[in-house]
Structure 1
Amino acid sequence: MNQLKTSTLKSVFTAVFAALICAGSIMAVPIGPVPIVLQNAFAVLAGLLLGPVQGAGAVGLFLIAGMIGLPVFSGGKSGFAVIAGPTGGYLAGYFIAALIGGYAVQRASKDNPKQALPIIISASIAAFACIYIPGVLVLKRSLSLSLADAIAKGFIPFLIGDAVKIVAIVPITLKLRPIVARYLSQDD
């Protein structure tokens, strides 16, 4: 595949995943200071399927869209105030999750391609952890909560739902990653 076509495909896949992450805000269920959303699943999936550079790029496009005023954050919110607010750590975590999850799958797949299932499961769990660590810490600081309260409000209520998301993400990644990788010839 020639360089221009590969570059164009990478841009298209990145934009499509940015749009999916944006669309994930439509399904927001408010349960306290942090809503249940599909955005985190799409951010993780972007990294797992596209790799660290394009996956993080997709999340970056989503974050830029929200910061410039497009209503792409949960509940149709936008603006820098959302990034600086109680859920800002989770949004930053999406970027880290795509980067780390994508890197883990990419690196492990090259080293041991026959171990795809445990690699993808581990990378998915690690990616979700990359969302919750900054998310809970910023929630704690923003709302002046104790660490225990921040964990109780910003982590515990989401464990079951995120486990279900991981169960969905793993077979999608197993099926689509080889196809996407073939088109993108990921060397980044």
Structure 2
Amino acid sequence: MAAPAAAISAPGVLADLLPASTRARAVARDAVLVLGGAAAVGASAQVAITVPQISPVPFVLTTFTVLLLGAAYGPLRAGLTLALYLVAGMAGVPWFTEGASGFGFPSFGYIIGFLVAGVAVGWLAGRGGDRTVLKTAGLMVLGNVIMYAFGTPYLAYATGVGAAQAVEWGITPYLIGDAIKLVFAALLLPGAWWAVNKFRSQD
């Protein structure tokens, strides 16, 4: 006999939908998610194009991956995933953009921003911030602003340029691409929740 709808606990984020009947299985599930998520972020970082005439910061898919992961994982899983990506890359794993590792390159500040943005987006998503198109768009804007807030000052520091040049290199060229990613995310995440709710209502 199906449980009443009110008795079915509502998932906070999409990852909560993955079954785990015991505490041990939940830990194993989350460990797989963290490792797989870090690998996915690393893989997306290899899809990169650098145009030196425009900026020393590559055009990448990583920002999109990080924000989707944050919303789908929630703050704890996203934080662990992106902390693993950050620390392992600093330690020498060549999964930063274009196979880089360490921290002595101009775009490293964005990677720190990934961690902060992923946690912030995950926290808000767990409170319903990814359930509608408008809310999800707001999440994506916030996440991008956080990444810029960390990446641009580090870019200025690493290259020795002023604030205006850092903005010209580190923000302006990416606004259109980030807007396109925002639209995709704003459709994808609420669409996933619509499918989930439709399925759950049929139980």
Short-chain TM bin: 0.7 to 0.9
RMSD: 2.1
TM-score normalised to the size of structure 1?
0.84
Report the Cα offset of residue 59 of structure 1.
1.0
Q: Residue 69 in 1 paired to residue 72 in 2? A: no
Amino acid at match of 1:16: G
Report the Cα offset of residue 172 of structure 1.
2.7
> Which runs of 5 or more structure 2 residues have no equivalent in the other structure?
1-20, 197-203
Give, in whole Å, the separation in 1 of the partners of 2:157 and 2:62.
23
Report the Cα offset of residue 134 of structure 1.
0.9
Which moved further from structure 2: 22-31 or 163-172? 163-172
Q: Is the 8 A contact 1:86 1:139 kept in 2?
A: yes
**Equivalent in the alignment of 1:148:** 164
- Equivalent of residue 108 in structure 2, options 83, 88, 107: 88
Matches within 5 A, 1:1-188: 1-31=21-51, 32-79=55-102, 83-107=103-127, 109=128, 116-176=132-192
Give, in whole Å, the separation in 2 of the partners of 1:46 and 1:21.
9
> Going by fraction, where is helix more abundant, 1 or 2?
1
Give, in whole Å, the separation in 2 of the partners of 1:21 and 1:102.
16
**Equivalent in the alignment of 1:186:** none
Report the Cα offset of residue 102 of structure 1.
0.8
Q: Is the 8 A contact 1:48 1:177 kept in 2?
A: no
Report the Cα offset of residue 176 of structure 1.
4.0
Amino acid at match of 1:34: V
Percent identity between the aligned chains? Answer: 27
Report the Cα offset of residue 117 of structure 1.
2.4
Q: Is the 8 A contact 2:70 2:122 kept in 1?
A: yes
3-state SS of 2:132 partner: helix
Q: Is the 8 A contact 2:134 2:186 kept in 1?
A: no
Give, in whole Å, the separation in 2 of the partners of 1:3 and 1:126.
33
> Which runs of 5 or more structure 1 residues have no equivalent in the other structure?
181-188
Which moved further from structure 2: 84-93 or 130-139? 84-93
